[in-house]
């Protein structure tokens, strides 16, 4: 029989003191070296000095204050976080590091992150953000689990061969709206045509040349060819979001050669309806495709919604559809679990 001695562990977070400089410098050098070029010791000295000198950054133009915190396990330094309060109402994490021997054991990274969120809220920040090397998979996954979203990826950014992911976590998310009264149903021309046409024309008409009544007629006609499942028949799938029996959203999907699906338009009367559509598209279309892409001119809240659901930007089309307008292409790879869900459920076939 093995006997395990139980240790009581206390984890504390405190402001960094002058004597922590070597600990911070060592942690940063070891953790950052594989992913970033540059002098990490000098970087550590700079941010540490800023913290010690009253948190005032004498060289940063957007920085309101810089703060270093140390996590201690039973009074031994075990991790650090450096936070930069920005004038824009955001807080940057740069960096968050737990000493290798303490990782995955005491929840130190989670505690430092929670501390950073409370700190950022106290400073009235809208969001926390940071960057992490794409090749730093464990840290990246950790941050995704903690509610960070991917804003984008810069190739060969701080070091050749290493890509940098830009992440953010909104802090002021209001309570999730009640989405239970919104349902997505297959398009029924008799029931939905008038309202769907009106919604499409009012939302996309002016930004996409050629979107007019004739275009909508052609859209509805191609929906009638859906049974053919022939890509070259350019058939379309149409789904309607309904709330109180009214049309509040429309999605038109065109399966393409090689199995991606183009979504255009994707229109919704409210943020909640847009969210419901974006969240359900993978499962609705998994039976037809392995990848989705959409062309739209998004508002910031639409971008946040797409990123929340794992979509990434794939292209920008300046004046691709109309003068003075840049259309964006966003894409999503459909996950195997969505395909399985469709196989296991009765599919609502349009």
Which positions lie near ligand COA, rule CB under 6 A? Answer: 31, 95-98, 103-110, 130, 132, 136, 138-139, 142, 145
Residue 79 CB, nearest approach to ligand COA (Å): 7
Specify the residue, 130 or 286, whose C-beta has the smaller distance to ligand COA.
Answer: 130
CA 320 to CA 296: how far, in whole Å?
11
Joined together, the tokens standing for residue 299 give 């508002």
Specify the residue, 129 or 208, whose C-beta has the smaller distance to ligand COA.
Answer: 129
What is the 8-class DSSP label of residue 106?
S
Residue 33 CB, nearest approach to ligand COA (Å): 10
**Count of CB atoms within 10 A of residue 204's CB?**
20
CA distances in angstroms from 290 to 37, 303, 329, listed in the order given:
38, 22, 17
Specify the residue, 100 or 177, whose C-beta has the smaller distance to ligand COA.
Answer: 100
CA 335 to CA 338: how far, in whole Å?
6
Residue 313 CB, nearest approach to ligand COA (Å): 23
CA 160 to CA 200: how far, in whole Å?
45
Specify the residue, 93 or 199, whose C-beta has the smaller distance to ligand COA.
Answer: 93
Residue 299 CB, nearest approach to ligand COA (Å): 30
CA 66 to CA 72: how far, in whole Å?
20
How does DSSP assign 66-91, residue by residue?
A: EEEEEEEETTEEEEEEEEEEETTSEE
Specify the residue, 20 or 275, whose C-beta has the smaller distance to ligand COA.
Answer: 20
Specify the residue, 97 or 253, whose C-beta has the smaller distance to ligand COA.
Answer: 97
CB contact burial 301-335 (16+ within 10 A = b; e otherwise): ebbbbbbbeebeeeeeeeeebeeeeebbbbbbebe
Residue 291 CB, nearest approach to ligand COA (Å): 28
Residue 97 CB, nearest approach to ligand COA (Å): 4
Alpha-helical segments (H) within the chain: 21-32, 40-52, 108-122, 137-145, 189-204, 213-223, 271-285, 300-308, 336-344
CA 69 to CA 240: how far, in whole Å?
50
Specify the residue, 16 or 306, whose C-beta has the smaller distance to ligand COA.
Answer: 16
Residue 74 CB, nearest approach to ligand COA (Å): 14
Specify the residue, 163 or 271, whose C-beta has the smaller distance to ligand COA.
Answer: 163
Cis preceding linkage at 95, omega within 30? yes
Residue 306 CB, nearest approach to ligand COA (Å): 24
């Amino acid at each position: 029989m093995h006997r395990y001695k139980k240790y009581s562990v206390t984890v504390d977070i405190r402001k960094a003191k002058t004597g922590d400089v070597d600990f911070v410098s060592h942690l940063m050098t070891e953790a950052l070296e594989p992913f970033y070029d540059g002098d990490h010791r000098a970087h550590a000295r700079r941010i540490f000095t800023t913290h010690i000198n009253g948190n005032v950054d004498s060289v940063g133009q957007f920085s309101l204050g810089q703060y270093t915190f140390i996590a201690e396990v039973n009074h031994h330094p075990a991790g650090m976080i450096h936070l930069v309060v920005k004038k824009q109402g955001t807080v940057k994490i740069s960096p968050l590091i737990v000493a290798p021997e303490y990782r995955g054991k005491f929840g130190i990274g989670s505690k430092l992150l929670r501390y950073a969120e409370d700190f950022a809220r106290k400073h009235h920040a809208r969001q926390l953000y940071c960057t992490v090397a794409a090749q730093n998979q464990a840290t990246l996954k950790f941050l995704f689990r903690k509610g960070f979203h991917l804003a984008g990826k810069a190739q060969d950014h701080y070091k050749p061969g290493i890509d940098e992911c830009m992440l953010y976590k909104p802090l002021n998310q209001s309570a999730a709206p009640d989405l239970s009264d919104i349902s997505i149903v297959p398009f029924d021309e008799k029931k939905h045509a008038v309202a769907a046409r009106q919604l499409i024309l009012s939302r996309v008409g002016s930004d996409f040349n050629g979107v007019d009544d004739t275009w909508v007629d052609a859209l509805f006609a191609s929906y009638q060819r859906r049974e053919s499942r022939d890509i070259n028949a350019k058939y379309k799938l149409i789904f309607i979001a309904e709330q109180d029996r009214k049309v509040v959203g429309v999605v038109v999907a065109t399966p393409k050669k090689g199995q991606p699906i183009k979504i255009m338009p994707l229109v919704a009367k409210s943020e909640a309806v847009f969210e419901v559509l974006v969240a359900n598209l993978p499962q609705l279309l998994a039976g037809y495709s392995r990848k989705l892409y959409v062309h739209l001119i998004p508002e910031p809240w639409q971008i946040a919604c797409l990123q929340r659901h794992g979509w990434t930007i794939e292209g920008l089309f300046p004046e691709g559809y109309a003068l003075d307008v840049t259309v964006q292409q966003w894409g999503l790879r459909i996950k195997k679990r969505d395909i399985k869900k469709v196989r296991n459920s009765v599919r609502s076939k349009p």
